[in-house]
Chain A
Amino acid sequence: MEDVILPREPLIRIRAWLERLPHGSRALSSLLEDRRRTDEGEFDVVPSAPVMDGMTTLAQNLRKAAGVEGAIIIARDGMVSASDMEDDAEQKGAVAAFVGSAAGQVGEALKLSAFDWGLITMGNERMLVIEQPTFFVGLALGHKASPALVSAEAAKILG
């Protein structure tokens, strides 16, 4: 059970960033609050063992898709549910949760249709974020992978 508790260091950095913002977003604040409460044991959001096994299998299947170099599944509160990623799963999970939450807000503000997927480009890294009803999926993409094709492939895997 202990292995799903998040290290505090990224959370501290995210909190510091949020406090500096003139327009702190409610969804992100809520995300951080949920993570704080989880870290401090105020509520138990750790899924049961069979659910965790299912998530791990899902992450492994997503990783097998052509063009995918790593997969992570993050609950809406930012908790990493499963990961098949070489390194940095915690931080990459935070990235996926940030972008997923922000995209939902942007869609709402501009009265656009529902968020489907997003792509973040940071240096040589590209991460595809896909929204699901209860969690976000973050997929590290290879240099030549097409986000549209990977998201279609992932949609099949996610059912």
Chain B
Amino acid sequence: MEQLLADINAVAGVKGSFVCDSHGALVAQALPVAFDESSLLPAARTLLQTIEGLETTRRRKVQQLDIVFHDARMVVKNLRVGCLYVLCARNINVPLLDLTANLAAKRLSEMLKEAAGPAVRETAAVALAEEEEQPAVLEEAIASDVSAVLLSRAREAITAAAQRGVCLRLLGGMAVKAVCHSAARITLPPEGLDLDFAVYGRDRKQLDLLMESLGYVPHRRFNALHGHRRLKYAAEQEGVALDIFVDTFHMCHRLPFADRLELTELTIPLADLLLSKLQIVQLDEKDLRDIYAILCDHELGQVGDVDRVDADYVASICSDDWGWYKTATINLDKSIDLVGDFLAEPEKEVFSSRARRLMEIIEAIPKSLRWQARARVGEAKRWYDLPEE
């Protein structure tokens, strides 16, 4: 058990963990010295009682409690024959913790059942069978390798494309994982086997041949209707789906690729990658974490600086279109406001200073007449498009 707790404690942001049986007795612990049994046990019992109470009242199984304090967090996993308690930093990446903790929880539960004897094993088995939804432990364990598989497929496609003279570049969450060393810690694990790419419209025919040679099947109906701006392919056996944006990334705002894809080799340039996240009107946690990873790992740069975020390019996009400016600055403000919930020092400070500097550059750049005319209308009229998925 101690080894499983040590595995959990190795996750970034975890301070310690412990296990109690169904009577609230401490079974195993790996905690800092600041916590002793006299403080742990009342807390553990309160939570056990709460879970039991919730299950009695709601007649549903509680899988997890996640309790967030101003500067700490406790994640409690219900083992059916006790609980696993994980004490961590407030800003821990919970989905990332789950990859390790769910697997550990499954093994701890088996160990506790074994130790408790046949009667408890039977009760726990019934409780598990009654559950409406089982955590897909195997799936979670595999999830940590999904990024590596997807990145290898992306590299394979980009290399093959280059050999045919096609400029294919990765974008989206996997692009962030490819260029940000902190992404494994800051960003969320991939939700599916999806890859997003950018390509020029002039390369469409070559791209079709390329995808066929790589074993990807085109979504014929979608490509016939929308192929001038977006293409879809899938490797049916493997389940990898490709979404390829042609000439422009257009969701809430338009981000043109013209003369941009040649600047870098694997992904779209960092500034474009950041803009592809800043254009989202309803930012979710995944996108917010991607923004944190990009700006934590890369300094702001100027035109032609491909290893940095070209702040001048970001500002130029925002200076011509008030809608772009509005959404991007709202999201930068929001990301600065919420940084404490997702990053710890020193990354928190690094991100905040870069995001604030980027805001200053965006504000300082002269705005186009079109921008000024639209600014007069303001928020009275919708300033963004509603993306279709």
A: residues with CB less than 8 A from B are: 10, 13-14, 16-18, 21-25, 28, 66-67, 91, 94-95, 98-99, 102-103, 105-107, 109-125, 144-149, 151-152
Contact = CB atoms under 8 A, between A and B. Distances in A.
Contacts of B64: 119-121
A122 B61 contact: yes
B42 interface: yes
> Most chain-A Cβ atoms within 10 A of its Cβ — which of B50, B63, B90?
B50
A134 B35 CA distance: 30
A50 B151 CA distance: 58
A14 B67 contact: no
Contacts of A115: 67-69
Interface of B: 23-24, 35, 39-40, 42-43, 45-47, 49-50, 52-54, 56-58, 60-72, 74, 87, 90, 131-133, 282-285, 288, 337-338, 341-342
Contacts, number: 136
A122 B338 CA distance: 27
Contacts of A145: 284
B46 A116 contact: no
A23 B45 contact: yes
A148 B284 CA distance: 10
Most B Cβ at <10 Å: residue of A13, A119, A148: A148
B192 to A, nearest CB: 12
16 contacts: A21-B49, A102-B46, A102-B47, A106-B43, A107-B69, A110-B87, A112-B69, A115-B68, A116-B68, A120-B64, A122-B54, A122-B62, A123-B131, A124-B133, A125-B60, A149-B284
Contact of A149 (B60, B61, B288): B288
A28 B47 CA distance: 12
Nearest to B63: A121
A18 B53 contact: yes
A17 B52 contact: yes
A95 B43 contact: no
B74 A106 contact: yes
Contacts of A24: 49
Nearest to B74: A106
A77 B90 CA distance: 28
A118 B67 contact: yes
A150 B350 CA distance: 25
A67 B283 CA distance: 11
Q: Which 4 A-B residue pairs are closest in the complex by CB-CB distance?
A: A146-B285, A113-B70, A102-B50, A109-B43
A64 B42 CA distance: 38
